[in-house]
Amino acid sequence: MFSKSLFKENLRIALSSIHSNLLRTNLTVFIIAFGIMALVGILTAIDSIKGSINNEFRSMGANTFTIVNRDSRVRIGGRVERYKNIEFREAMKFKEVFQFPALVSVSSTASGIATVKYKSAKTNPNITVVGSDENYLISSGYAIKNGRNFSVNDLISNAHVVIIGSGLVKDIFIEGEDPLDKNIRIGNGRYKVIGILEEKGSSFGSAGDKLCILPITSVRQYFSRPNMNFVISVLPNDSKLFKAAINEAEGIFRVIRKLRSFEKNNFSIESSDNLSNLLIKNIRYVTLAATIIGIITLFGAAIGLMNIMLVSVTERTREIGIRKAIGAKSSIIRRQFLYESILIGQLGGFFGIILGILIGNVVSLITNGKFIIPWAWILGGVVLCFMVGLVSGLFPAIKASKLDPIISLRYE
């Protein structure tokens, strides 16, 4: 029958035994803590990375999907199948024909290694230049901080105007200088700054804040190259119509590409959800690897803890004999050693959880994520450490409880 005073006495004896064998106890606590730290730390970091991935893709344009060209060379059996890029004519035809309640934009990456100059200031050749229409900023999740977006007249007249990212402003303009209406040089052309984008930060597949956006007609004229590729972005007016919009867009672009009913798509439709889910799915392998590492470490810790408890039983054989001689039952002796084993496991779990949360949130800060307290993993860590302590201490506790008091008293 459970006794509160007996529980306190067994707990006091367990703490006394732990204190008298600090070196061995500390080593075992460290091994357990390392295993829990690996589990909680890596899994907390993965949760943070998942959140960061979702946020980054949302920032690229919520509820937006894009029609892009497939890989130019795909090996099918023994032959190589070639897919052509999306042409400007095809993109503009789609924008004209697609009557679904949605915003359609056409864009193309003109360069990823451009150099931008203003007076004597000059950037490194790492500026991305994008050609776009008047809908690109909305469909891509950008917002104008100062100035204006492209007008239809800018596109029709091939106007030499540009919208620049806030990172580029810091590189070529003096602090406090207003970039609007200033002329900058991009490659060999001069363009008037008409807009400045709000800070967005770098995201997957994004140029971040160091980019220039030009009218797509101007890019076609001054950055033209063979097989120039264009991207069609579609933002449905209602997120509930997202899948319907994808199906409608696929059907229309198949018609534009003159594909027959039995032919496969020679283009791809991508959405931020699909891409983020693909990355998160791949992260599952990292989660599995982290779990296996943690379990292996905890298995080693369990063996070490069991070894310590067996040594403790051997060293305290005479003490066990004395306790039995004065009336201690086998169940009391068994509980005493189980309490000690479980207590060591919980100490390891406590330090492992603290270290795991700290390490996981360091990764979260690096990935611009939020501070996370993984309650599920904390609870899981506590349960795991309890199981490690219970399993590791069960055999030594049973062995101690079965010692003969007469033989134990004579043990040297």
The H or E element containing residue 373 is: none
230 has a pLDDT exceeding 90: yes
Provide the pLDDT confidence category of residue 304 given band limits of 50, 70 and 90: confident
Task: DSSP for 189-256, please give it.
Answer: EEEEEEEEEPP----TT--TTSEEEEEHHHHHHHS--TT---EEEEEESSGGGHHHHHHHHHHHHHHH
Distance CA 309, CA 398 (A): 11
- Answer with the one of 265, 292, 313 that is the final residue of a domain: 265
**Residue-level pLDDT at 77:** 47
**Residue 347 lies inside a defined structural domain of this protein:** yes
309 has a pLDDT exceeding 90: no
User: Are 374 and 252 part of one and the same domain?
Assistant: no
* Residue linked to tokens 């599920």: 376
User: Are 282 and 230 part of one and the same domain?
Assistant: no
Q: What is the pTM of this model?
A: 0.56
User: Are 116 and 42 part of one and the same domain?
Assistant: no
Provide the pLDDT confidence category of residue 185 given band limits of 50, 70 and 90: very high
**Residue 66 lies inside a defined structural domain of this protein:** no
294 has a pLDDT exceeding 60: yes
User: Are 105 and 247 part of one and the same domain?
Assistant: yes
231 has a pLDDT exceeding 60: yes
**Residue 71 lies inside a defined structural domain of this protein:** no
The answer to whether 236 touches 100, Cβ cutoff 8 Å, is yes
**Residue 126 lies inside a defined structural domain of this protein:** yes
Q: Give the Cβ contact number of residue 87 at 10 Å.
A: 15
Name which residue leads in pLDDT, 201 or 269: 269
Name the DSSP letter for residue 102. Answer: E
Distance CA 131, CA 112 (A): 12
Name the DSSP letter for residue 70. Answer: P
Distance CA 99, CA 121 (A): 46
**Residue 272 lies inside a defined structural domain of this protein:** no
Burial 190-215 (b: 16+ CB within 10 A, else e): ebebbbbbeebeebeebbebbbbbbb
Name which residue leads in pLDDT, 328 or 238: 238
106 has a pLDDT exceeding 90: yes
**Residue-level pLDDT at 273:** 61
Q: Which residues pair with 269 in a beta bridge?
A: 67
* Mean pLDDT confidence for 320-342: 81
**Residue 73 lies inside a defined structural domain of this protein:** no
Domain that holds residue 43: 4-56+277-409
Number of structural domains in the chain = 2
Burial 39-60 (b: 16+ CB within 10 A, else e): bbbbbbbbbbbbbbbbbbbbbb
Nearest to 41 by CA among 278, 368, 276, 293: 293
328 has a pLDDT exceeding 80: no
314 has a pLDDT exceeding 60: yes
User: Are 228 and 371 part of one and the same domain?
Assistant: no
Give the pLDDT confidence of 43-80 residue by residue, as tens digits.
777 777 776 665 665 555 557 888 998 754 444 444 55
Give the pLDDT confidence of 397-410 residue by residue, as tens digits.
888 888 777 776 66
**Residue 70 lies inside a defined structural domain of this protein:** no
**Residue 69 lies inside a defined structural domain of this protein:** no
Burial of 69 (0-12, 13-18, 19+ CB in 10 A): middle
User: Are 257 and 301 part of one and the same domain?
Assistant: no
Structure tokens at 184: 């900058």
Q: Which residues pair with 234 in a beta bridge?
A: 65, 104
User: Are 168 and 224 part of one and the same domain?
Assistant: yes
- Answer with the one of 240, 265, 290 that is the final residue of a domain: 265
Nearest to 242 by CA among 204, 286, 218, 273: 273
147 has a pLDDT exceeding 90: yes
